[in-house]
């Protein structure tokens, strides 16, 4: 019994020391006030990508497009993989529940030479902003292009 308590004493000592370290306040090394540099331009006033700039982006994407390592897929465990035959979780029929509301408006957005395109979008009260990899564009609610396409690095 005494041997066990002597062996556990260092464990408890380390735990107590680590708990005491959490009470030490952490202070920032320096506190400063931000500097006001002015307002940025409205997004509609930023320069659009020229066809030559977009072509350069497409050329870079074509160079990086194909991964040689994935040219010939290899499935070494296909013979022993489960489930055998049809997957019991595979849905083979359409659901019978009514879907939600259908889209009110649908229009073509930007295209991307990259795969996958990594697109994002956000809807505001009057506009829709779409980003695709390194380019953004802003559309009004009728689908008309309001700003862009512009290189996204102009925002930062």
Structural domain includes residue 123: yes
Kindly state the helix (H) or strand (E) to which residue 119 belongs, with its residue range.
Answer: strand 119-123
HSE-up (13 A, CA, CB side) for residue 34: 3
Kindly state the helix (H) or strand (E) to which residue 137 belongs, with its residue range.
Answer: strand 135-140
126 or 156: which leads in pLDDT? 126
Tokens of 116: 């996958």
Structural domain includes residue 91: no
- Is residue 25's pLDDT more than 70? no
Confidence (pTM): 0.54
Asked if residues 135 and 149 have their Cβ atoms less than 8 Å apart, the reply is: yes
Structural domain includes residue 73: no
Q: Structural domain tally of the chain?
A: 1
Structural domain includes residue 144: yes
- Is residue 22's pLDDT more than 60? no
Q: Tell me whether the omega of the peptide bond preceding residue 34 falls within 30 degrees of 0, making it cis.
A: no
Structural domain includes residue 56: yes
- Is residue 57's pLDDT more than 80? yes
Structural domain includes residue 83: no
Residues pairing with 122 in the sheet: 129
Asked if residues 117 and 156 have their Cβ atoms less than 8 Å apart, the reply is: no
Domain that holds residue 56: 43-62+109-156
- Is residue 51's pLDDT more than 80? yes
Asked if residues 119 and 110 have their Cβ atoms less than 8 Å apart, the reply is: yes
């Amino acid at each position: 019994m005494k041997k066990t308590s002597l062996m556990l004493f260092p464990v408890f000592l380390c735990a107590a020391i680590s708990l005491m370290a959490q009470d030490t306040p952490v202070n920032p090394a320096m506190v400063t006030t931000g500097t006001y540099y002015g307002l940025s331009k409205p997004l509609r006033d930023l320069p659009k990508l020229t066809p030559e700039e977009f072509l350069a982006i497409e050329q870079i994407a074509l160079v990086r497009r194909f991964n040689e390592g994935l040219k010939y897929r290899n499935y070494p465990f296909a013979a022993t993989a489960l489930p055998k035959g049809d997957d019991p979780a595979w849905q083979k029929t359409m659901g019978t529940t009514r879907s939600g509301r259908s889209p009110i408006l649908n229009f073509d957005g930007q295209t991307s030479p990259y795969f996958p395109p990594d697109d994002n979008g956000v809807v505001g009260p009057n506009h829709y902003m779409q980003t695709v990899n390194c380019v953004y564009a802003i559309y009004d609610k009728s689908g008309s292009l309001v700003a862009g396409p512009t290189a996204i690095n102009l925002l930062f």
